[in-house]
Amino acid sequence: MAAGAKRQMLRHTLATLAYRGAKVVDGAPKDFESFRASDDTRNAGEILSHICDLLDWAHSIAKGAQAWHDSEVATWDNLASRFFASLKELDSYLASDAPLRAPVEKLFQAPFADALTHIGQIALLRRLAGAPIRGENYFKADIVAGRVGHEQSADRVEFD
């Protein structure tokens, strides 16, 4: 696969994160950021904060200046805003002509795959909190590289 196609695949992965992320952040119960499955697991806010840290880490890796930062947990709305801002910043870099200073495969296998895993954890916490997201046929989802903001396609094939 050509380098440009690989970058485009990373951009599509970010758009997938945005699409699935919008589903888990929207309509979360009040104080959901503090909900946890058990005493020895991360709460929802810690997980979303970690996803944002992963996206920032991926951006630093892409620029060739790998840096990790553990962020403080904020309110759910602030975390959601940060999530979409981090996606946009990373997507803008990938869409540019700036050099990619790491192998695409390494970016996918570490921060990108980890972020997808954590979106699934938040979806599970939503169900445990009594506010499940609706299941969907994601193969039919209208996900487009570059659409990484909070506003996502309303054209969904959700299950009843």
pLDDT at res. 1: 74
Determine the angle formed by the axes of helices 3-25 and 76-95, rounding to 10 degrees: 170
Assess if residue 146 is contained within a domain: no
51 lies in some domain? yes
The reply to whether 128 falls in a domain is yes
pLDDT at 76: 96
How many domains, in total, are found in the chain?
1
Q: Please indicate, yes or no, if residue 34 is contained in any of the structural domains.
A: no
In this structure, the dihedral spanned by the alpha carbons of residues 45, 47, 50 and 55, taken in order and rounded to 10 degrees, is -100
* Domain harbouring 89, CATH code: 1.20.120
Domain that holds residue 15: 3-29+42-140
Where are the alpha helices (H) located in 26-101, listed in sequence order?
A: 44-63, 76-95
79 within a domain of the structure (yes/no): yes
The residue whose two tokens read 């602030």 is 78
pLDDT at 12: 98
Residues of the chain with pLDDT under 50: none
User: Does residue 49 fall inside a structural domain?
Assistant: yes
Q: Please give the model's pTM, rounded to 2 decimal places.
A: 0.95
pLDDT for 15: 98
What's the pLDDT score for residue 2?
Answer: 80
